[in-house]
Amino acid sequence: MKNLKKYLDVSPEVAQALAEGKPVVALESTIISHGMPYPQNVETAMNVEKIVRENGAIPATIAVIGGKLRVGASYEEIVHLGKKGLDTTKASRRDLPVLIARGEDGATTVAATMIIAALAGIRIFATGGVGGVHRGAETTMDISADLEELAMTPVMVVCAGAKSILDLGLTLEYLETKGVPVLGYQTKELPAFYTRKSGFSVDYQVDSPYEVASIFQAKLDLDLKGGMLVTNPIPEQYAMDFEYINRSIEEAVARANQLGIKGKATTPYLLDEIKNITKGSSLEANIQLVYNNAALASKIACELSKLEQE
């Protein structure tokens, strides 16, 4: 790709791991700047990296730093994003060329993290929850760019399902139309971020990291376009009651509508409002599901690394 080195900045540790065929797991940075307050955001980010290492893989936190697509952000860069918080641009596909040209910072969403991970040669990405079709999208057309990226970019996304602030049924329909496989890790039901329940079924249940890696390897070998979504339910002890969280979400959505909040501001507002409504319990659930996803993604990355070397 023309002039890629001009834009892509891969840390020595990540570059060496990729060159040697070692397992690497990409991590997003929107959760640092927009997901929770400082210093909890930095603490969580560093814990996620620690969990990835404990499970045999190399973490690669991805962000845009000073106009560079950074793969493997340093502790200092993570602290910088954590302190800057909401003043950091929430960067999706459309934002990357602008941030690069202007030499600015950006916290990468699922879509942007997938793009940069693919450019660096990273196949596995762990996050909290993916974006999707928003409630009321039949009139607002508010559909996350994450879904389009899953249809185009060959990166596996390990998440706790789609955020339960979304229209989960329409999100699954959209992914089906785009040909994106949606797998449930040891479950047939789509997890809904804070809760293990949703009332919707995934395409296939998978029961081991090896099985997930084998499916993705087959997809890559066949050169089928796009990525894959692996949905991993939040651990039982941290899961929130289905009815309670749904009521909290409906209350938060109603307030957002009253305030006229739209576009990329919607998700950060709703997550913060739900945190307030649930007196902080949703934030703890958010942190724990991210840890759980990081562990699973690392195990899958290890299995994929073995398959690629056969």
The catalytic residue positions are 28, 163
CA distance 32 to 286: 12
The tokens describing 150, both together, are: 């899953």
Residue 254, burial from CB neighbour count under 10 angstroms (0-12, 13-18, 19+): exposed
CA distances to 106, 136, 188, 287, 290 from 238, rounded to whole Å, are 30, 29, 20, 10, 12
Q: Which residues are 26's β-sheet partners?
A: 60, 125
CA distance 57 to 60: 10
Residue 301, burial from CB neighbour count under 10 angstroms (0-12, 13-18, 19+): buried
Pairing of strands 24-27, 58-65: parallel
CA distances to 7, 116, 175 from 1, rounded to whole Å, are 11, 13, 28
CA distances to 57, 163, 250 from 125, rounded to whole Å, are 12, 17, 30
Q: Which of 71, 88, 69 is nearest to 79 (CA)?
A: 88
